[in-house]
Structure 1
Amino acid sequence: MKRWLKRLFIILLVSALMLSAAMTWNVYHTSVPEPSHFATFTPPPTFQPLRLRVVTWNLWGIFGFTPRRAERMQIIAREIVKLKPDIVGFQEVFVQADRNLLTTALREAGLPHSRYFPSGLVGSGLLLVSRYPFESEGFIRYAENGRPEAVHHGDWWAGKGLSLSAMRLPDGTLLYVANTHMHARYRGQYLATQLAQGRQLIPWAARVKDTGSPALWLGDWNSKPDSDILAPLIASGGWQHLTGDKAAIDHIFGSGTAWQWHVLSLGKLTGLLSADPKIPWSDHAARWIEVELRRRP
């Protein structure tokens, strides 16, 4: 009996140490530091209107939890290439094999630049792919991000946040592009968490605004644009809602005091597996826009 008690004690001790190590790693592991360079930008007098096709898509890519993940990713890679995008912000791309598949497909379609933002125990899930080279990158991890005991929700263990990258357009113009995945509401359980995440981003939106550069803000915001979570953020950054659907929770916003974002076309992309029509490509539809970036008169 004493031998079994001893073994049980050792198992419990090792389990406690492993859990403690995992939680410590989750809290402190963020590979990309916060943005630090925000230079004032003056639009070149020779700037010509530039067309951009931009996509945001939550891919429902959680290893072991989402159905037929590998099969869905093959289809998503094919469909995203058909859109002929210039910039794509993905969320919930937690599996390395899925990231490799997407970046390879888009590289062959003319988007050679990509960044993933490791954070927490399982990663942020944020992947940004672009036709244009990256000038700088940063990651703002959310200080409030759910509860560790809510493993079935998973947000705390994912180390979520907002990636903020700067890209150099062909004429030298600096374009900021952000990508995020805010905490889900879960029937109102995490309203305080969402409010805290929105407040945390307000000074960052203001810093980008102060540079005078154009910026795009992509992601699964898990909130409507007129909500208490997003409305203050939109106001502080001078954001324009480009995807148009005010009932949606996935959005693309544009900003820039010296710039205009003129929406030429927009839409969403979704579908069902032909092998199993009960399963969608993702539990979110892709949101895409084609815009023309212009200098403000």
Structure 2
Amino acid sequence: MKAFHFFGLICCAILSLIPPLLVSIILAALVLNTHTGAATDYTSGMHLTSPPPPIEQPLTLRIITYNIADGYLFTNNRPERMRAIGALLTKLDPDIVGIQESFVEKDREILLEALSESRLRYHADYPAATVGNGLLTLSAYPIAETVFHRFENNNPWYKIHQGDWWAGKGIGLARIRLPSGSRIDFYNLHAQAERNDQANSKVRYRQMGELATFVNATRTISTPAFVLGDFNTRMDQPDLQRAMQGARLIPVVTMDSGIDAIFAAETPGYSITAVETLPISGETTGRNPPIFLSRAPTPSELLRMLFGPREVTPLSDHLGFMSTVIISPATVSNN
């Protein structure tokens, strides 16, 4: 009996440590989550100090947006999917790619290694928060400058199960230098998810206002600009309409792309036209059954993720989209 009594005391002592330990972890995460490692100051950026020469000849670009669902705990088969996504992007041969939900640094390295034979030799990410915002921009051309805007409006920190605040979501700008010396301003973003929570719609509405303000403040007015990503809303909704009107964004897709969209900003002196948009999907063989969640897994889901049999898995729970666009400089008349 004494042994059982002693064991019970030990268990009670351990259990008594769990609440303060959890509180300490959450408090530490709250402090760390405010950190943004990416460059955020655009007041002396290249759009002000060194405007590029204009694009003088029609230019065709293939542009992709793709949420690859790469995160701890809520997705699995990540290394296999990253290799397959790298192979698919190499085959598609785009010029610029905006990736969302590339949260895991080790998996990002696998993806970049899988792209080593592609033209996508340049990349930029935008470190922020405890788990990172998951934004990754890939380019066939050098990236001259990067700037990140972290959304000031986000859902509350205490909605831990939703995860958006912890991800430090925002907008990553990459200024991409073309062989001619001209540039493209490329904005990659991931907005607040709905998650059956009406308050999140209000958050996202304010985020779309931030998007318009950031684009207007940072874009090179004489340079074509593209804005794309996982908007978590559709083009006919008031929140996305706010961004489209505020930043003068025009869709450059030829099909319904749902919540994953590609826009061009209206630019004096240029017309930008979408020629074709292709959905991007694929599958590969994973180590375990495919599971894609927007929340923490249940015990049974976790067991399947860790110990389930090998199965074919989609590359992501999102479709990607590739638009072929033509940038045409305005014809100058000598008359």
The answer to whether TM tops 0.5 is: yes
> Deviation digits for residues 62-121 of structure 1, max 9, x if unmatched?
112213222222211111111111111100011112211222233421221111111110
Q: Aligned to 1:230, what secondary structure does the other structure show?
A: helix
Q: Counterparts of 1:26 and 1:7 in 2: how far apart (Å)?
A: 28
Q: Counterparts of 2:11 and 2:315 in 1: how far apart (Å)?
A: 49
Correspondence 1:1-80 to 2 at 5 A: 11-36=18-43, 37=45, 38-39=47-48, 41=51, 43-44=53-54, 47-80=56-89
What is the CA-CA distance between 1:32 and the residue it aligns to? 2.6
Contact 1:58 1:90 in 2 (8 A): yes
Correspondence 1:1-297 to 2 at 5 A: 11-36=18-43, 37=45, 38-39=47-48, 41=51, 43-44=53-54, 47-189=56-198, 190-208=200-218, 211-246=221-256, 248-255=258-265, 256-273=267-284, 279-297=313-331
Residue identity (%)? 30
Contact 1:194 1:229 in 2 (8 A): yes
What is the CA-CA distance between 1:172 and the residue it aligns to? 1.1
Contact 1:263 1:289 in 2 (8 A): yes
Contact 2:85 2:315 in 1 (8 A): yes
Q: Counterparts of 1:285 and 1:3 in 2: how far apart (Å)?
A: 51
Amino acid at match of 1:266: T
- Identify unmatched segments of 5+ residues in structure 2: 1-7, 290-310
CA-atom RMSD in angstroms: 2.5
- Given the two structures, how large is their TM-score scaled by the length of structure 1? 0.90
What is the CA-CA distance between 1:187 and the residue it aligns to? 2.7
Q: Counterparts of 2:37 and 2:154 in 1: how far apart (Å)?
A: 14
What is the CA-CA distance between 1:12 and the residue it aligns to? 3.7
- Given the two structures, how large is their TM-score scaled by the length of structure 2? 0.80
Which structure's CA Rg is the greater one? Answer: 2
What is the CA-CA distance between 1:5 and the residue it aligns to? 7.6
- Identify unmatched segments of 5+ residues in structure 1: none
Q: Counterparts of 1:3 and 1:188 in 2: how far apart (Å)?
A: 42
Amino acid at match of 2:261: H
What is the CA-CA distance between 1:185 and the residue it aligns to? 1.2
Give the 3 Å change call, closer, same or farther, for CA 208–258 of structure 1 in structure 2.
farther
